Structure 1
Amino acid sequence: MEVTVSSIVTSIASVTFLTWAWKVVNWVWLRLKQLEKWLREQGFKGNPYKLLFGGTKEMIPMMKEARSKPIDPYSDDIVPQFLPFHHHCVNLHGKDYFQWLGPTPRLTITDPKLIKDLTMKLFKSQG
């Protein structure tokens, strides 16, 4: 069996490509699905991660539809008009939930005790 320069170059190129491909798959999919699993284990509900766009594709039509309707001047409930996706997620998942803005999770927490605990832990970790 003869080892040639071209076979060595091909092997190095293949290993480099496979390493790069694994890093991209990990960055675009595996790491985010693991983060989603961790958020669910913490007790948060939310939409599943969708490749690259997250919930953005659902959010934009909801915003366009809400903006096309006139504002009711006699209603105190302005959230469906100005934050339709947030309103939809609260109705679907509860007041503490996560949503995906592209590959970034956005965590919404409304429980004051949980917010206090998180900020106290954040300040302790910083100094």
Structure 2
Amino acid sequence: MEASLLSTAMLSIVAIGFLVCSWGVLNWVWLRPKRLERLLRQQGFLGTPYRLLIGDMKENHQMTKRAESKPTSLTDNIAPHVIPFIHQTVQKYGKNCYTWLGPRPRVVISEMELVRDIFNKFNDFQKPSTNPLVRLLLVGLVSKEGKTWAKHRRIINPAFNLDRLKE
């Protein structure tokens, strides 16, 4: 009797573990991206619809290969050759749009006033969370956030003054 009770308990634990993992994968692959897509549309952004797991990576890769195969001259607009998928998305959906990099949306902001607001309000627009291992390996200004980022930006800003760069 105790053995069957123990096996039932183990089976229950395995089943619960499987359900928790399944819910996590379902949330990562489908529920969270669809929720983010709905929230972006509510905020006025337009973009490509989410496709399971790969997002827009396949189209992005195909367009990049096509653009690399065509010759370009120095007088051409370089954006369609360097970032063809982003260029086409901006042409189709407007200056503020989004694409999908796997299950994560990538927001494109092209209006200078909004870009200026994003850079000035660094506390409101946080960098996406990264893997803790990547955070340990990543050092420098890229890894700074909040007041530390503002302090370092203020320190290095004079170094990029036009007169100093000419020297």
TM-score category (smaller protein): 0.7 to 0.9
| CA distance in structure 2 between the aligned counterparts of 1:117 and 1:77, rounded to whole angstroms | 27
Deviation at 1:118, TM superposition (A): 2.3
Indicate the RMSD between aligned Cα atoms, in angstroms.
2.1
What is the count of residue pairs matched by the alignment?
A: 125
Give the letter for the 1:118 counterpart: I
Secondary structure, in 3 states, of the residue corresponding to 1:53? coil
Q: In the alignment, what sits opposite 2:131?
A: none
The 8 Å contact of residues 28 and 103 in structure 2, kept in 1 or not, is answered as: no
- Aligned in 2, Cα 1:124/1:93: closer, same or farther, shift over 3 Å? closer
**Residue equivalent to 2:14:** 13
Unmatched tracts of structure 1, length 5 or more: none
Structural mapping, 1:1-127, within 5 Å:
4-73=5-74, 75-123=75-123, 126-127=146-147
User: Structure 1-normalised TM-score?
Assistant: 0.85
Secondary structure at the aligned position of 2:25 is classed as helix
Q: Share of identical aligned residues, percent?
A: 44
Provide closer, same or farther for how the CA distance between residues 21 and 117 of structure 1 changes in structure 2, counting only shifts above 3 A.
same
In 2 relative to 1, CA 58–38 (structure 1 residues): closer, same or farther, beyond 3 Å? same
Task: State the secondary structure of the residue aligned to 1:60.
Answer: helix
Question: Aligned equivalents of 2:25 and 2:41: distance in 1?
Answer: 24
Unaligned regions of 5+ residues in structure 2, if any? 126-145, 148-167
In structure 2, the CA distance between the partners of 1:124 and 1:24, relative to structure 1 (3 Å rule), is closer
What is the deviation of 1:124? Answer: 6.5
Tell me the distance in 1 between the aligned counterparts of 2:24 and 2:109.
32
- 1:39-72 CA distance string (max 9 Å, x none): 1111111111222211101011111111111113
The structure whose RCO (Cα within 8 Å, separation 6+) is larger is 1
Q: 1:124 to 1:51 in 2, by over 3 A?
A: closer
TM-score by length of structure 2 reads: 0.67
The runs of at least 4 consecutive aligned structure 1 residues that moved more than 4 Å come to none
Q: Distance in 1 between matches of 2:60 and 2:99?
A: 10
Between 96-105 and 111-120, the greater mean CA deviation after superposition? 111-120
